[in-house]
Structure 1
Amino acid sequence: MKKSLVLVINCGSSSLKFSLMEPNSGEEVFNGIAQCLLLNNASISFKMNGEKQELSLKAPFDHDVAISALVAFINNNHLFHQITAIGHRVVHGGEKYCHPTLITPKVKQQVHKLAKLAPLHNPANLVGIEAAEKVFGHLAQVAIFDTAFHQTMPEKAYIYGLPYSLYKEHGIRRYGFHGTSHYFVAKQASIHLNKPLEQCNLISAHLGNGCSISVIADGKSVDTSLGFTPLEGVVMGTRSGDVDPGIIFYLVNQLGYSLDQVDNLLNKESGLLGISGLSNDCRTIEAELLSGNVRAKLAIDVFCYRIAKKIASFSASLQTLDGLIFTGGIGENSSTIRGLILNQLSLLGFTVDEQLNLEKRFGQQGNINSTNSRACWVIPTNEEWVIAEQTQRLLTSIGE
């Protein structure tokens, strides 16, 4: 029987991730990534049926070449005619896009316009869309926006303490990101709770190189830690998270930093990397922690404390709390980080089961709380499935 498959594309400035999926079951046919695009060492890899294949890309090493290699792989495996649509991850939809959206020339113009809010991401997302249109022009192209899930936040959660005119005239407000991830794991938590998502009250911690905490009331996002940009919030891999804005003026006026240097400092040289002086990779820092490295311990302590503090503060947004979710590369795999965070949340009724916590890694899902604790789960995220599912759902509704 012929399957109806959705090709999911997540395009970055120098990379292109992709996954071919059955949208209803989440069954993945293959996935892969093109890396180092626009550089001489550009390559593309495919993983299918547990086997990985890597190829070098020919000049000019751009996104069109990567798409062409992807199409060749699809054709070689006789899958082209099973693809019914292309789902694209688009980082910023502003206030305009709250739902999956069929991509038209007007939508592309809006995504380009919103690039001022996500200059590193939206232009790259557009490159992926236009490259896909050249070879999949006969198929519907659908945009799934990272910010969409958070558009249910109330005004009190997204307005900054700045002149209101900056919001009305320039769109300066909190938007939030990782929306597809928070939505997916919240849906999975509702299954654990055996009740509809619309009745669930949760806090979700997406912890990776980028981190965000989201509070979900009655199945909807009502607050999240990332703001106008992905720099706000908790300490991350290379990003500082919340800092006193006065530090920026001090760096510029007293220490002679340029604005570009400040931008680079806060986004690429801070966080776990900046505090530890070692790496932005939590695995490296945890290894150094075990060997007694003082800076590694400080980095982990700051990281876990800021996350626990954010989770605790977000409880003020809820009347009841059904449970806490850990997801993302660190959240799914680091029992050390999870344990340290939960040990600081006893006031909220969380205690960790050490054995269950140690067992959850490499894609394992389940609870890690002790018997008398409030519920806490490790749930691997699957943003690609959300994109595939929502793409298919939109096209089905249009067809009806």
Structure 2
Amino acid sequence: MTATATRVLVLNSGSSSLKYQLLDMHDAARLAVGLVERIGEETSRLVHTPLATGGAKRETEGAMADHDAALKAVAAELAADGLGLDSPELAAIGHRVVHGGLRFTEPTVIDDAVLTEIERLVPVAPLHNPANITGIRTARALRPDLPQVAVFDTAFHTTMPEYAARYALDVATADAHRIRRYGFHGTSHAYVSRKTAALLGKDPSEVNVIVLHLGNGASASAVAGGRCVDTSMGLTPLEGLVMGTRSGDIDPAVTFHLKRVAGMSEDEVDELLNKKSGLIGLCGDNDMREIRRRIDEGDDRAKLAFDIYIHRLKKYLGAYTAVLGRVDAVAFTAGVGENAAPVREAAIAGLADMGMAVDADRNAVRSDEPRLISPEDSRVAVAVVPTDEELEIAQQTYALVSA
């Protein structure tokens, strides 16, 4: 890597989408951002914003049969802005990989052996790892000479103690099939917990934080001194909080009941719990803005969905307060956490005896900056900390290849 190579391209490959950002790690500036969606469908769509040149957002439509075609289209857009993948200033490509199991506890340069191990983890992440692998293969084919780095969603949670990570299952069976709690959204939890400590003017090692990553997917983590000690998602991203389309915590016997009594197949139960449950299953909407609008109009079904969502949040706040023993801060992040003031207010309401409170005026402020929304004299700081998973991936990637 040359001294002038300070750029990192971050790729987040989904089953039919490709999100990307190009950053210059000299000053963490975003040079370009974009999204390709509907890959493999009749008409794909690419949205590209060249931030480095201050140019207008560009949208193009056309058939992109696979991720190879999509990434080549992205490369063409970047080249049009003088930011091509052949630039000597490009230091590495960082890939979001959802599941790294127990082997991958930190960012890792991808070689054939690493890619094989990521493939071995497909059974525990069938919805995510295959798409991540496709993106890696495509990028390696385009730039085989460039370091490609995998940054794992699960890595931050590998510090969980064994008593938090294990399920109460027969040990031999669990070990044989790698059944344990891995956790997800790790790049977000790492970034937000560190930023929360900075907001308090402290080193991460001095702060205990409960992070609430609330988007369409949602997860909570208990972070003690910069290390995750518990998190709500488990073997898969299904466990834990109520989410947009996922049920979160549920009695496992419900699955047996649905198969025996309703005659549902394994695939049908899987689809029910992952895609037809959560908020959308409860009220038909998974957009919190729409749910709040319906509540304001007196919609009882939307109100019940919201109350169930908040009740689960409170349970995890209480549980992680007990796990940590001392809580210095609660941090809300991601789409709902950053933008839905009523969610933050309701989640913290009634927790004054736990030292948690929200100031109504502070909570109503909208900002892209980390900020406190608790009263000045609150024992526990309550914060809104915008997450930046792409920057976290870029930072970890660049630190590895420039070491």
- Normalising TM by the smaller chain, what interval? over 0.9
Alignment of 1:30 with 2:36, yes or no, is no
Paired residues of 2:50 and 2:81 also in contact (CA < 8 A)? no
Q: CA deviation at 1:100?
A: 0.5
Alignment of 1:284 with 2:293, yes or no, is no
Q: CA deviation at 1:57?
A: 3.0
Structure 1 unaligned residues grouped into runs of 5+? none
Paired residues of 2:232 and 2:239 also in contact (CA < 8 A)? yes
1:191-245, CA deviations, whole angstroms, 9 ceiling, x for partnerless residues?
1121211221110000010000000001100000000000000111000011111
Paired residues of 1:91 and 1:121 also in contact (CA < 8 A)? yes
Q: CA deviation at 1:287?
A: 0.8
Report the equivalent of 1:235: 242
Alignment of 1:335 with 2:344, yes or no, is no
Paired residues of 1:289 and 1:297 also in contact (CA < 8 A)? yes
Report the equivalent of 1:15: 17
Q: TM-score, normalised by structure 1?
A: 0.96
Structure 2 SS opposite 1:299: helix
Count of paired positions = 394
CA distance in 2, matches of 1:240, 1:83: 41
AA aligned to 2:10 is: V
CA distance in 2, matches of 1:42, 1:58: 5
1:61-100, CA deviations, whole angstroms, 9 ceiling, x for partnerless residues?
2111111111111211112312111000000000000010
CA distance in 2, matches of 1:105, 1:115: 16
Alignment of 1:321 with 2:323, yes or no, is no
Larger deviation: 291-300 or 367-376?
Answer: 367-376
AA aligned to 1:132 is: A
Report the equivalent of 1:358: 364
Report the equivalent of 2:264: 257
Q: CA RMSD in A?
A: 1.4
CA distance in 2, matches of 1:227, 1:129: 25
CA distance in 2, matches of 1:33, 1:113: 28
The sequence identity of aligned pairs, in percent, is 42
Match of 2:94 among 66, 80, 87: 87
CA distance in 2, matches of 1:126, 1:57: 24
Q: For residues 347 and 25 of structure 1, do their structure 2 counterparts lie closer, same or farther at Cα, with a shift above 3 Å needed?
A: farther
Structure 1 SS opposite 2:402: helix
Paired residues of 1:305 and 1:344 also in contact (CA < 8 A)? no
Report the equivalent of 2:58: 53
Match of 1:69 among 69, 73, 78: 73
Match of 2:145 among 122, 131, 138: 138
Match of 1:173 among 180, 183, 189: 180
CA distance in 2, matches of 1:365, 1:160: 35
CA distance in 1, matches of 2:27, 2:292: 36
Report the equivalent of 2:353: 347
CA distance in 1, matches of 2:356, 2:106: 34
Paired residues of 1:184 and 1:381 also in contact (CA < 8 A)? yes
CA distance in 1, matches of 2:34, 2:76: 13
Structure 2 unaligned residues grouped into runs of 5+? none
CA distance in 1, matches of 2:148, 2:313: 37
Alignment of 1:370 with 2:372, yes or no, is no
